[in-house]
Amino acid sequence: MRLQQLLSYTRKAVDEYAMIEDGDHIAVGISGGKDSLTLLYAMHGLKRFYPKQFELSAVTVDLGYSGCDFSQVKELCQRLEVPYQIVKTDIAHILFEERKESNPCSLCAKMRKGALNQAVKGMGCNKVAYAHHKDDIIETMLLSLLFEGRFYSFSPRSYLDRMELTVIRPMMFVDEADVNGFRNKYDLPVVTSRCPIDGYTKRQYAKELVKQLNREHPGARQRMFTAILNGNIKGWPDRIFRQL
């Protein structure tokens, strides 16, 4: 996937779900993975031509795993002229040494998002961009059906009352396969995950299940995504269709 195509998908999401307003200061949450680095490129490119003016910053929550080096991410942000902050935490130590969690994903996500949102507010931002793509949205819906008994997936745009912070997901129309292609084409400085259970989670199970369903029933993946968009899910904003 070329940058122009990435920007087209990003603009579609931003326009149809009113993610950006004039004067916004948006922080990109960067884990160091391919998704968040692709989002950084997308938001940097969008900032150059989008009719509504906004500021852009970036922040990484360092979970405390040994061997994680964000120096190349820092260099990329400097090259793009995006202010960048690394927030040091002891989340990994708390999860695996103090609490010895066998299923740490939920608590890890909660602690990571808490640290991220606090940092974002401290940088003077009113919005934070998460790097969830189309496949993430489909997998979340499937996990919700299987383990919660409800039809749900996270919203393109949501407001956190307690933090007075808006969360946006500008890559919601981007396929993970295209993210992989973008990573390879632009040689993104991906930081390898050091989480000991990476690849052994329920989300990984959902990812494999979606692939299997799509192999057995071609087009099933896209139909699931369409069902989400048309599903009137509680908390989702209205979709704005533009006339060409």
Q: What is the pLDDT of residue 109?
A: 84
Stretches where the chain sits below pLDDT 70 are: 100, 102, 197-200, 242-244
Q: What is the pLDDT of residue 244?
A: 40
Of 228, 231, 221, 236, the residue nearest 176 (C-alpha): 221
Q: What is the pLDDT of residue 65?
A: 82
Task: Give me the domains of the chain, ranges plus CATH numbers.
Answer: 3-229 (3.40.50.620)
Q: What is the pLDDT of residue 200?
A: 62
- Cα–Cα distance between 17 and 6 in angstroms, integer? 17
Q: What is the pLDDT of residue 64?
A: 78
Sheet (strand 165-168) strand order: 84-88, 54-62, 24-29, 127-129, 165-168, 157-160
